Amino acid sequence: MSTRFSVLIPAYNRESYLRACVDSVLAQTFKNYEIIVVDDGSTDGTKEALASYGSRITAIHQDNSGPEVARNRAATVAQGEDRVMLDRED
């Protein structure tokens, strides 16, 4: 079965919000999705927080380039039929 949704999340220095955001997606009963988080050069604990999810998410790390660039980077690796943008504060 192909992946239905790709959830694209840009992240920059929002470790505490990021965990709640990712956890809310992982808590869904619908499971035909992938989560792609692009760490846009964070200097807090974002990298470590993403690593704690292991293979449940795809984490990409890049130099700080802004949320638009991070979203576009996530979209380039997305495998889902549809792409859903989700900000780390949501």
Tens-digit pLDDT profile for residues 10-30: 999 989 899 999 999 999 999
* CA-angle at 47, arms to 51 and 58, nearest 5°: 50
Alpha carbon distance 4, 63 (integer Å): 29
Helix (H) or strand (E) run with residue 81 in it: none
Q: What is the pLDDT of residue 16?
A: 85
**pTM of the predicted model, to two decimals?**
0.93
62 Cβ contact list (under 8 Å, min separation 6): 38, 39, 40, 41, 69, 70, 73
List, for the chain, all residue ranges whose pLDDT scores fall below the cut of 70: 1, 88-90
Label the pairing between strands 58-62 and 5-11: unpaired
